[in-house]
A and B are shown apart, each in its own frame.
Chain A
Amino acid sequence: MKTVAAFPRPFKVRVRHTRGVSLPDPQPEELDPACAIQAKGLRKAYGNVVAVKELDLSVRKGEVVGLLGPNGSGKTTTILMLMGLTEPSDGWARVLGYNPLRDPLSVKRRVGYMPDSVGFYDHLTATENLEYTAMLAGLDAASRKARIREVLTHLELSNVADKKVGTFSRGMRQRLGLAEVLVKEPGIIILDEPTSGLDPEAAREFLAIIRALKERGITILLSSHLLHQVQEVCDRVLLFYRGEKVLEGTVGDITRRVMGSTRMFMLEVAGTDPNRVLASIPGILRLSKQGEGKWTVEADRDIRADIADGVTRGGGRLLALSDSEPTLDDVYARYFEHMRTKDAERAAMNSTEEQKFVRAGERSSAEEQETKGAAPQKEDSP
């Protein structure tokens, strides 16, 4: 029997399967007709790197949802899976009832997608660029022309309609990208980083357009890492971190969850040092200087009366004191600060465990060698 083991093993061909892997379908009762986009257990792995981890997502019709997170946290991959432009490794998605994996053409016909840093054919005019994609979208010649003119006018691009796109500014390209999306008259609009690279004025204009679309009842999914903009237009926000959806809810919800009961106050004083006069107030958590005479106070309850009292008693003058709602930026900063310290702790723990593991491995391989060295002797003996 030993001779059998001496034969070389047959070749093992490693086949990379992207297709052919059986992906789950939703149960009928899981599907909600009021939802424009639904996904469950959606996962995408590139080799060993997991880009999106078991994502559950639902967007109701007419809702504006923001995907938030730092670069590389899986927002674009999620969008590409919803569009059927990349295949998920596991899970299912339905967009307006269609399966993007199985029937991507039906999804793409009804969904307008603007990729981040959208590009155009520079040697063609704005109209020609839109005509090309409108033809690919299957619009007939008569309605195409009228739609393009109408949309260009709406986005204030009609004066440059016959100019080559090569001469366009970043903001104009971005608006042209949105124009292309609108020519299709989509039920859902997906915008990937629509305001990145725009100057504040252009970004504000762009957000105003999105708000107008929202009023028309179009479902919008937009990704961004610029929070104050998302805050302005989104009904609901999904916070991504390293391929995982870590928080979900309205901006208010998320704020309450991350910040807890912490409240923030803006304080402006003259003639005294708040560090000295406010230190004894119960409930005060943090005092930080923002500028000359300007401070923010964090506390676990409303201590405005105590602050005013403290300042006047300390001989200073109170110039302003207001309750400030924490912005999503504060939440964001706080949350990722929290995650980073957690990661650091985990990394420290892993490294010690790894060392243990390596030591164990060394020992076992040493043992193996010993047994190997012993084996031939055994075979020699009858």
Chain B
Amino acid sequence: MKHGDTTITLQREGSPFKGLWVVTVKEMADHMGSIRIRLLFALIGLAAVSAIYSAVQQIRSVVGEDPFVLLHVFTVSQDPLPSFVAFLSFLIPLGAIALGFDAINSEYNRRTLSRVLAQPIYRDAFLMGKFLAGFLTLALTLVVLWLLVIGLALFVLGVPPSAEEIGRSFMFLIAALFYAGVWLTIAMLFSVVFRQPATSALAALGVWLLFAIFWNMLAGLIGQIPSNQMAQLMSQLWFSRISPNTLFAEAMVALLDPTTRSLGPILYSQLEGAMLGTALPFGQSVLLVWPQFTGLIAEVILLFTGTYIIFQRQEIRA
């Protein structure tokens, strides 16, 4: 066969973002109207109100002396209920998985994928739109929750929060959002890999259990490998920090407990001149958790990239 000598370059015409906003808006509308998200709202709302109520009961007695009342509303727990943040670190993955586990495979199963991709858009916009819709929905949920907590604390305790408290809790909100983003991308990755939504939901929940329960045990095992004690400690720490749960928990501790000075092992020599038990300034706390923030964001990007590559290579015929 005789053909021209020219070869096709890798480049394609047109923007990969065309149609992104249309997909995002439609998917978000779907999320908002779904029974799934209503159940989730009810669950989170119930957990929030009960956790805060019990925290407030305990805090009330010490209201006068505490400069960080609002932050304690987040972290204080009273048996048998866990604290609000403990509830959150538990419910965020659940909510994110619920929004993402059938993102792509349901389109295959409903046979809508080839019809939508026959419109003048690239797959990029479709996947990105689905992610953005889930992410924005989670963001909306978390912001509402955040405002609810602050409002409730203000109403019940009658103490206005300081600027620093608002700043710290806002940074915590951002951390929670990216923590949710990690779970959303994990769920979406499985929705691309597995054709059955039930399988992908199960796989995502399996990963969640792995990180929530077994990861610290594994980290302990890894920690026993090196001979040197410092190396043991560091390897354990590094391994456990692969888990988004660890990253989120560390960010949470450093932001909501201003007295936190370090998130790893610390030498006595480093503590010289430190006033233990006093609060760190806001900027210093943020500096302390900056690596954790970076880690969470990097995990979102890596997982999304993986999902993107697999999705691009898939055949779209059902």
Contacts and interface: CB of A to CB of B under 8 A. Distances in A.
Nearest to B19: A136
Contact of A132 (B13, B22, B120, B317): B22
B110 A119 contact: yes
Interface string A108-152: 110111110111111100000000110111100000000000000
Interface string B8-29: 1011111000110011001000
Given A41-B3, A76-B317, A106 B13 contact: yes
B114 interface: yes
B3 A24 contact: yes
A86 B12 contact: no
Contacts of A381: none
A85 B114 contact: yes
A109 B10 CA distance: 21
A85 B3 contact: no
Given A101-B8, A105-B121, A133-B119, A119 B3 contact: no
Nearest to A56: B1
Contacts of B30: 121, 123
Contacts of B122: 104-105
A105 B110 contact: no
Interface in B283-318: 313, 315-318
Nearest to A46: B315
A19 interface: yes
Interface residues of A, number: 48
A71 to B, nearest CB: 13
A136 B8 contact: no
Contacts of A137: 119-120
A123 to B, nearest CB: 8
A83 B114 CA distance: 10
Given A117-B111, A119-B112, A24 B12 contact: no
A106 B15 CA distance: 11
Given A80-B317, A119-B111, A25 B8 contact: yes
A80 to B, nearest CB: 6
A244 interface: no
B229 interface: no
Contact of A119 (B12, B18, B115): B115
B12 A41 contact: no
Contacts of B10: 19-20
B148 to A, nearest CB: 29
B270 to A, nearest CB: 45
B117 interface: yes
Contacts of B46: none
Contacts of B317: 76-77, 80, 86, 115
Nearest to A136: B119
B228 interface: no
A169 interface: no
Interface of B: 1-4, 6-8, 10-14, 18-19, 22-23, 26, 30, 33, 110-112, 114-122, 313, 315-318
Given A108-B121, A120-B115, A136-B23, 5 more contacts: A25-B4, A25-B8, A40-B1, A117-B318, A118-B115
26 contacts: A18-B313, A23-B8, A25-B6, A54-B1, A86-B317, A99-B8, A103-B12, A103-B14, A104-B14, A105-B18, A113-B115, A115-B115, A115-B118, A117-B111, A119-B111, A119-B112, A119-B115, A120-B110, A132-B26, A133-B115, A133-B119, A136-B19, A136-B116, A137-B120, A138-B19, A180-B115
